Structure 1
Amino acid sequence: MNTTALDLDRFAPIDLDALVSEAALMTRVDRKYVVSRDAAADVITTLDAGIRVLDMDGTRAFRYESVYFDTPDLLSFRMAAQPRRRRFKLRTRTYLDTRTAFLEVKTRGARSATVKDRIGYEPSERRRLTEEARGYAADALDAIGVSAGRADDLGVRLTTLYRRATFVSGDGSARSTVDTDLEWRDAAGPSLRAPAMAIIETKSGAAASEFDRALWRAGHRPVSISKYATGLAALHPELPRNKWARLLRGPFADAPKTQSPARPDPSARPDPSARTKEPTCAHAA
């Protein structure tokens, strides 16, 4: 079974402009689920036909590539893996079907407020940071009290590929994505493919969405997962992993891993033996 086998055709289409307009009005609560691809297909068959699916020129499942950047001592990963309020994630996201790309940053400061931002990016540059991109990253790090100079240390760490279908409730109050054909490629060489896995993310207001309720009825509950941090931990068992231990013992353990030649850039190789640099804070926490 592949992503195109998901029963998407019975839902009405919604175009990208309408989806963005409706989503912009939402105060969102995000929930993530990791289920088998077959389970995702089963849940989709139970959804009300009033739900709409993103459709662009007849295509309803789209190919994504995300390239994550981190420091040699894995500052972004370790801030996610350990109980710290401050954290950041920097990536390029490329929509492979339309050949458009963005540089995206997600930060959380000492007050636990999460900020997401993105700028347009040249697709041919998506595996490197331009000087403008490093300045963009430096500003984001400085805003959460991490030395802006750490932006100079950032290099490619992990690439993820997947296929995504996007669902929108009939009234526009909730949105859900289903990611399948998942693959993680480490800059250091190893890769992991999870053809039997699906990652579902729901975004809704205070009330749970229909997709959430359908998942709950099928016995699935929200989990903590980061495509970057959980994927890197799955590829490197020596890294901290307690936060995602159940997933790493379950769906990720079943995914086949392969070893490929490392990229020539030595800064792209994770160095778990290196001493972790604590973020340099502008102010005391």
Structure 2
Amino acid sequence: MKIGITGATGQLGRLVVGKLKERVQTVELVALVRTPTSAVDLGVETRAFDYNAPLASALQGIDYLLLISGNELGKRAEQHARVLDAAKEAGVKWIVYTSLLHADRSSLSLATEHILTEKALTTSGIPFTILRNGWYTENYTASIPGAVQGGAFLGSAGNGRISSVARADLAEAAAVVLTTGEHRGRIYELASDQSYTLTDLAAELSKQTGKLIPYHDLSEADYAAALVSAGLSEELAQAFASFDVGASRGDLFDDGKELSALLGRPTTPLADVVRQALV
């Protein structure tokens, strides 16, 4: 059996490969990456693979394919459709796709491309499983250095509760699904056991640093402007500010505990991810 992992040199992909190596033999894994030389350190077979022009020949012999969603916003639905066509031509027997938490009802702009991909999967004729991944906790902890330096954690999420997940937990879930049981046809909503507000996150950060770092809730426009001043492009700043507003509406919340059920253990606590970010 061969398991192919697209985007294997990305932040999630590298973790998935590591988790899979703990569960199956290395010879069963194929890293599908744009630049194979960048994946040499993964210690598995590598093949050139581009979401913009995926070749069926690169998928020959692969039984199971983990399709990690691309990172080019606005292009992903078309890219993923091309990957599905290549997978069908190559005879891939099962596709596991990383989607977005509650993509079918989320107000996040990201949801549209995920839903289009999910629909393409259902009509592809290839057996599939959909992992609707929750927000990465690291998306928030990446702001910790700036918060510590500036003395406040900024956002526009209001009092919205967030069930974000450590990226490593989602990688482990993908590895579990690919190597155990019967998951075909299933859609999993993957979120943390624990939810928090950004006020809670700021309090945890204050506790661990010994400094008072309050949460300052801003309007969407003001938060976007703050992100631009921190170095983000206008486009990315507007996107991330809108994601925070989505959090205020509950788009990043889920209490179903499907992730911990898959893992067979509690999800990684927020405090642990904050602690790692401070190292």
**Shorter chain as normaliser: what TM range?**
under 0.3
More helix by percentage: 2
Which structure ranks higher in relative contact order (CA pairs < 8 Å, sequence separation ≥ 6)? 1
- Which has the larger strand fraction? 1
- What is the TM-score when the length of structure 1 is the normalising length? 0.26
TM score, norm. by length of structure 2: 0.26
